[in-house]
Structures are given as C-alpha cells and as structure tokens.
Amino acid sequence: GAGVSQSPRYKVAKRGQDVALRCDPISGHVSLFWYQQALGQGPEFLTYFQNEAQLDKSGLPSDRFFAERPEGSVSTLKIQRTQQEDSAVYLCASSGPGLQETQYFGPGTRLLVL
C-alpha cells in the first residue's frame, strides 16, 4: 500500500523566499505530524493535526512557520521569509487516532536556504 509521500524531495531557496512543503499521509490516518531534522540530529517536533484541527503547534520555531490541513488529509508546511537556519530535512508522519499508534514517516523534504 502507499505510504506517506512528501514533495518536493529537495528544495533550494534564496534567503527571504517563501516555501511550501507538501505531505500526503497514509489514507485514513487522522493524525499528522511535522518534524524538523537538522543535520546530525534527531527529529524535532513541530506540530500535530487531528483531522483538520491543529491541536499542538508548540514546536514551530517562529511565526514564519505555518502549517495547515484544511480537509483533514493533505497538509502543507509553509515557511515565510526563509533564513539559513531553516535549512534542514522536514519530515511528515501520519498515524491512527490513538496515543499508542505508530507513526509512519515520509522520506522528507531537504530544504537548503542559501
């Protein structure tokens, strides 16, 4: 079956440019997560959705980061006015509704801000 997909896989942006990263979760998964993984580090939680509701956005590093999931399926992570420190791999994961559910990860989008 289809797993979590993310696009684009690679993105090069000039500092100050806005970017949008897309996540297609596993069909039927109500929970969706975004993580930021810096080079040599573990994933860091950014935000979480249950269906279309954003229930936790405590990990978003600044108001330049914005995520949405308007119809409860596809999600977009938007970064405005990108900075060099935003360079990282952005991972999306989806799961069933329970706290004990396993998260299944996409391949990530590697963002490089020049």
Partner 1 sequence: AQSVAQPEDQVNVAEGNPLTVKCTYSVSGNPYLFWYVQYPNRGLQFLLKYITGDNLVKGSYGFEAEFNKSQTSFHLKKPSALVSDSALYFCAVRDGNTGGFKTIFGAGTRLFVKA
Using H for helix, E for strand and C for coil, what is the string for 39-71?
CCCCCEEEEEEECCEEEECCCCCCCCEEEECCC
Residues forming contacts to partner 1 in the complex (CB under 8 A) are 4, 31, 33, 35, 40-45, 48, 50, 55-56, 58-59, 91, 93, 99-100, 102-108
| Nearest alpha carbon to residue 110 among 17, 2, 12, 34 | 12
Which residue, 12 or 55, is less far from partner 1 as judged by CB? 55
Which residue, 48 or 79, is less far from partner 1 as judged by CB? 48
Closest separation in Å from C-beta 16 to partner 1:
28
Peptide bond into 8 cis (omega under 30): yes
Q: Can you tell me whether residue 86 is helix, strand or coil?
A: helix
Closest separation in Å from C-beta 38 to partner 1:
10
Which residue, 79 or 93, is less far from partner 1 as judged by CB? 93
Q: Which letter does DSSP use for residue 15 in this model?
A: T
Closest separation in Å from C-beta 83 to partner 1:
23
